[in-house]
Amino acid sequence: MTTEVGSETDVKKEPEKVPEVQQQTEPQQTEQPDKAADSAAQPASASDDQPQEESQSAEAKSDPEAAASPEPSSPPAAGGQKKDKGISRFLPPWLKRQKSLSQDKPAESTEPPRQESVEAVKEEHEETSQPKEEADGEGGATTSTEQTEEVKEVKEVKEVKEVKEVKEVKEVREESRAEEVQVEEKDKEEEKSIGSADTQPVREEKEGESEVKESEEQTEKKEEKKEEEQVNQQETSVLSALKLKKMKMVVCHVTLLDGSQFSCEVEKRAKGQYLFFQVCEQLNLLEKDYFGLSFKDNAEQRCWLDPTKEIKRQIRNSQWQFAFSVKFYPPDPSQLTEDITRYLLCLQLRQDIASGRLPCSFVTHALLGSYTLQAELGDHDPEEHRLDYISDFQFAPNQTKELEEKVVELHKSHRGMTPAQADAQFLENAKKLSMYGVDLHHAKDSEGVDIMLGVCANGLLIYKDRLRINRFAWPKILKISYKRSNFYIKIRPGEAEQFESTVGFKLPNHRAAKRVWKVCVEHHTFFRLVSPEQPTKTKFLTLGSKFRYSGRTQAQTRQASSLIDRPAPYFQRTSSKRISRSLDGAPVVNVSDYSQALTAGAGENGPSLELNSDSKSPQVEVVEKPNEDADTSLTSETAFETDKGGAPERKVPQQTPPRPGTDSRDASKSAEVKPEVNGQPEVVEVVEETVVIEEVVKAKPKSPTPEAAVTVETEHAAEVKEERSLSSDSESEDEAEYHAQPPSTSVSAQLIKEEPEEEQEADLTQQAPPSVIESQPITEAAEPAPAAEEEKPAAQPEEEACADEPLLTPDEAPNGHALQDEAPPTLKATAAEEEEPHIVNGSASRVETEHLPQVICCSEPPVVKTEMVTISDTFAAQKTEISTKEVPIVHTETKTITYEAAQLDGNGDGEPGVLMTAQTITSESLCTTTTTHITKTLKGGLSETRIEKRIVITGDSDIDHDQALAQAIKEAKEQHPDMSVTRVVVHKETELAEDDD
């Protein structure tokens, strides 16, 4: 009520009181009347400021609604803070944390805020000050003093919120700039959004809080009069309208799950979040994290509206038409707290079923249909419910008379079931359907066969026609990336496998690839992680899309919703009128039994649990650097990584890539030791390389040359961080990086290559891991490229490699035989074993080299970097040194990569050093060691060498991994007494004991 006052007061101070009283007394139905009233009052004020509104004025509804909407999004911040302490107990720890971080801003906003927001200042001032006055006035007017008090609080909250809103916009921008300065990497595109992204989480949470509060308060009020609530909302909307004055407004049309349209006005530059909260408020939905807004892009593809970004930028030229729908299908709907949430999920599923997106059998159609009838119509009434009574419902894509009869028959058996129970039953059955919650994307495998990628709560499913031909659970996926129209997943090696493999899929176009990538990132985060990844700002360089899911995870939303403490909100089902009839006197308001729902709230399958069980992995990175320039060294690393990322690996059609000792990727990471016991990795790295390029250019300062690589590296770093921050989830691999020589490595062959990847690929192609001898041919192939490459973007080296690779077909690969011979028997065996599964899943595609065009990315401007690849003997010398004696050498590969900066682009100027040489040596045995030497020239003409070692210790629990690792580190130290170990990262992957009998 207070809120109302505020808005109205602005408009007309005197009349305020009167209208309020009226509104309060007004029943819910009055929405339109209210609106009319509001609009009548508002228009005067609002229209003045907003010329645009005029056009919209015709739509009286939109104004009030829009007004209402603004509040939700903005208010939370201020309101939340004020009441922080009170609310804090309700907040999950993560919320609190974030708050504290964000608090500075909020504090500013709350106190001085009014002044700060120049634009809004006046209006808001008025609002804020007035409301209180009004409240006082109201107190007199209103009957119960208590109410008034509450009202006051509410008002304050909302007022503050409003203020905040305005501020937000500006603040956010400012902040974002600040961030930009700090973090060079940020995309231009994303600048704003990113900036906001950082701040947003805070907001969201605050909102959440405030909402909760609101809801609580509302509920209290409700008890007295529901109408009041609505009045509140409307009032609030009115307030918000004031804000809108200065901005350009756009009317958004949102199709709700029941098919109705919701329109609301939003500021043209509003973020997705704003609109989304408007809708959620309209729906009275608290458990909103499962939902999202989608829109159709120009190609008629459905895209999710990113809440953290401006709507306008996302929809581009499309209409402001959205659909509210379920984004994350809860695997166990009984764990949802509120019936209203379940109801909305039911609506979504009914749509999914009727449209054929969620296939089911005849019997299931009938069963689900019967629950729908029970929920919507109540008990079957033979007199009223003749067969045609269900003609309004669509239970299946092709609805037959037979089906309808069956539905009716089953409907009769549900007598006595409340709508909420019927919904619950509906969901209990629907959730078991194999395609429940599976988001399908068309794709092709490496052989060009049409397949579908299904992203779901548990991971990625691969379908061919209706058959599931492969499945990659999240724990099996190390990295998700896309490049151009290709989508890649990097797979954690299985128990029997030594090396990661990458599987690539061809999407129809770049946007489709990015879309599936995003969906994967979101699903992984939502279902798999306890909390979202930290924003990327901390990393020095970021290549690729910085997109991350920033909303709550399922774990968080469950936690939050477990704190929901409001009486079950009333909501109208599509045909609730009939419900009241059939239920004979059942209270119209709450047909649902919330008690049930609440009890169900206990979490079962929380992702957190999974995480805990699956992942326990300390990470150790050992990095030795002679110089202390960490950054430089990093850069160089990056370069390697880039290679990985940049060049998709070839897939050998049917075999799992048994990778012999050398993975280019691994190499790039330098020394990562992965003890894989049956490890299940949980961390997913997300890399989008396409975007990367552009960003790279900007990010540049550090390493111009190897930027692409840098990106990768950064990501890598990100992973690590994620893992740590995430705690339980993400520690999974053991990585050891250090400068020392590889304990187990013997460097025999010297290959001068541009890219480590080539080798990899070669290996893959041949399936036999051994690489050394063969490498020469490869090298030759590669060599020609360098010259050509001059003046090409840094990224090119990779691509070239790729390009070259195609030439090396598995059959063609000269080394093939040699490799096999060399390959240790064990390796072969492994390979053989693994082959089968792949074959089985044949459809799963391996990475396709062929698809890699030389062009870096279509959509983004390539970074111009010039590099010359030099083949020099100098490095060879190094290699020699590196060789190790003690370790049994199973397989050894040596690669030397030299980069000389022939020309540096403008970007390069700021750089601390140039990567002169990088060399990777990999050997395999019980321990697999990958050693990377990176020599850079720093600005001063100094050169630094950094050695990274990645040691993978594989074995059962019988092996003492700690000891092995300690030994490895010790050896490394001994080998390079003059160097210091700067970083040790240990990734430990342990899999729960497989079901042993």
Nearer to other proteins, 103 or 334 (CB): 334
- CA gap 500, 476 in Å, rounded: 10
- Give me the 288-327 binding string for other proteins, x by CB under 8 A, dash otherwise: ----------------------------------------
- CA gap 855, 868 in Å, rounded: 18
Q: Which of 294, 429, 562, 870 binds other proteins (CB under 8 A)?
A: 429
Nearer to other proteins, 157 or 368 (CB): 368
In sequence order, the β-bridge partners of residue 261 are 255
Q: Is 412 in the site for other proteins (CB under 8 A)?
A: no
User: Do the Cβ atoms of 938 and 702 come closer than 8 Å?
Assistant: no
| Shortest distance in whole angstroms from residue 924 CB to other proteins | 23
Q: Which of 244, 303, 315, 366 binds other proteins (CB under 8 A)?
A: 366
Which DSSP symbol is given to 791?
A: T
Structure tokens that stand for 681 in this block: 């990795």
Nearer to other proteins, 331 or 910 (CB): 331
User: Do the Cβ atoms of 364 and 429 come closer than 8 Å?
Assistant: yes
Element (H, E) at 296: strand 291-296
| Shortest distance in whole angstroms from residue 336 CB to other proteins | 18
Q: Is 955 in the site for other proteins (CB under 8 A)?
A: no
AA identity, residue 193 = S
| Shortest distance in whole angstroms from residue 399 CB to other proteins | 15
Element (H, E) at 125: helix 118-141
Nearer to other proteins, 363 or 807 (CB): 363
Beta-carbon contacts of 181 under 8 Å, excluding residues fewer than 6 positions away, are: none
Helix, strand and coil content of the chain, in percent to the nearest 5, comes to: 50, 15, 35
Q: Is 958 in the site for other proteins (CB under 8 A)?
A: no
Q: Is 400 in the site for other proteins (CB under 8 A)?
A: no
- CA gap 657, 849 in Å, rounded: 14
Q: Which of 183, 469, 918, 968 binds other proteins (CB under 8 A)?
A: 469
- CA gap 282, 340 in Å, rounded: 12
Q: Is 467 in the site for other proteins (CB under 8 A)?
A: yes
Structure tokens that stand for 452 in this block: 């579908």
Nearer to other proteins, 288 or 414 (CB): 414
Q: Is 787 in the site for other proteins (CB under 8 A)?
A: no
Which DSSP symbol is given to 917?
A: E
| Shortest distance in whole angstroms from residue 836 CB to other proteins | 6
Region binding other proteins by CB under 8 A among candidate stretches 424-432, 533-541, 629-637, 968-976:
424-432
| Shortest distance in whole angstroms from residue 435 CB to other proteins | 8
Nearer to other proteins, 366 or 530 (CB): 366
User: Do the Cβ atoms of 340 and 284 come closer than 8 Å?
Assistant: yes
| Shortest distance in whole angstroms from residue 957 CB to other proteins | 20
Q: Is 178 in the site for other proteins (CB under 8 A)?
A: no
Region binding other proteins by CB under 8 A among candidate stretches 318-326, 364-372, 806-814, 899-907:
364-372
Q: Is 478 in the site for other proteins (CB under 8 A)?
A: no
Beta-carbon contacts of 631 under 8 Å, excluding residues fewer than 6 positions away, are: 540, 702, 912
- CA gap 90, 96 in Å, rounded: 10
- Residue with token string 């879309």: 515
User: Do the Cβ atoms of 367 and 410 come closer than 8 Å?
Assistant: yes
Structure tokens that stand for 966 in this block: 């300690």
Region binding other proteins by CB under 8 A among candidate stretches 95-103, 320-328, 356-364, 480-488:
356-364
Nearer to other proteins, 465 or 956 (CB): 465
Q: How far is CA 653 from CA 126, 445, 471, 665, 864, in A?
A: 70, 10, 17, 20, 34
- CA gap 702, 839 in Å, rounded: 44
Q: Is 872 in the site for other proteins (CB under 8 A)?
A: no
| Shortest distance in whole angstroms from residue 366 CB to other proteins | 7
Q: Is 458 in the site for other proteins (CB under 8 A)?
A: yes
| Shortest distance in whole angstroms from residue 594 CB to other proteins | 23
Backbone angles phi, psi at 52, to 5 degrees: -60, -35
Structure tokens that stand for 511 in this block: 């946007």
Chain positions 815 to 844 lying near other proteins, rule: CB under 8 A, are: 833, 836-837, 839-841
Nearer to other proteins, 386 or 432 (CB): 432
Q: Is 602 in the site for other proteins (CB under 8 A)?
A: no
| Shortest distance in whole angstroms from residue 327 CB to other proteins | 19
Q: Is the dihedral of CA 36, 42, 48, 51 positive or negative?
A: negative
Nearer to other proteins, 39 or 458 (CB): 458
| Shortest distance in whole angstroms from residue 360 CB to other proteins | 5
Q: Which of 3, 24, 364, 655 binds other proteins (CB under 8 A)?
A: 364
Nearer to other proteins, 657 or 706 (CB): 657
| Shortest distance in whole angstroms from residue 134 CB to other proteins | 55
Q: Is 966 in the site for other proteins (CB under 8 A)?
A: no
Nearer to other proteins, 118 or 363 (CB): 363
- CA gap 807, 777 in Å, rounded: 11
DSSP string, 223-284: HH-HHHHHHHHHHHHHHHHHHHTTS-EEEEEEE-TTS-EEEEEEETT-BHHHHHHHHHHHHT
Q: Which of 12, 97, 386, 432 binds other proteins (CB under 8 A)?
A: 432
Q: Is 148 in the site for other proteins (CB under 8 A)?
A: no
β pairing state of 302-304 and 291-296: antiparallel
- CA gap 445, 466 in Å, rounded: 15
Q: Is 396 in the site for other proteins (CB under 8 A)?
A: no
Q: Which of 470, 502, 633, 937 binds other proteins (CB under 8 A)?
A: 470
**Residue 63: alpha-carbon gap to chain centroid:** 34
Check residue 284 and give left, alpha or beta (phi > 0: left; psi -120 to 50: alpha). Answer: left
Nearer to other proteins, 531 or 954 (CB): 954
Beta-carbon contacts of 100 under 8 Å, excluding residues fewer than 6 positions away, are: none
| Shortest distance in whole angstroms from residue 387 CB to other proteins | 20
Q: Is 230 in the site for other proteins (CB under 8 A)?
A: no
Q: Which of 223, 300, 465, 958 binds other proteins (CB under 8 A)?
A: 465
AA identity, residue 195 = G
Region binding other proteins by CB under 8 A among candidate stretches 375-383, 429-437, 593-601, 871-879:
429-437
Q: Which of 434, 859, 880, 903 binds other proteins (CB under 8 A)?
A: 434
User: Do the Cβ atoms of 711 and 541 come closer than 8 Å?
Assistant: yes
- CA gap 852, 689 in Å, rounded: 13
Q: Is 427 in the site for other proteins (CB under 8 A)?
A: no
Backbone angles phi, psi at 352, to 5 degrees: -60, -40
Cβ-based burial of 877 (10 A; exposed 0-12, middle 13-18, buried ≥19): exposed
Q: Is 391 in the site for other proteins (CB under 8 A)?
A: no
- CA gap 513, 446 in Å, rounded: 14
AA identity, residue 65 = E
| Shortest distance in whole angstroms from residue 678 CB to other proteins | 12
| Shortest distance in whole angstroms from residue 469 CB to other proteins | 6
Q: Which of 108, 136, 174, 428 binds other proteins (CB under 8 A)?
A: 428
Q: Is 680 in the site for other proteins (CB under 8 A)?
A: no
Q: Is 995 in the site for other proteins (CB under 8 A)?
A: yes
Nearer to other proteins, 330 or 797 (CB): 330
User: Do the Cβ atoms of 679 and 994 come closer than 8 Å?
Assistant: no
Residues that bind other proteins (CB under 8 A): 359-364, 366-367, 410, 413, 425, 428-429, 432-434, 456, 458, 464-471, 473, 833, 836-837, 839-841, 995, 997
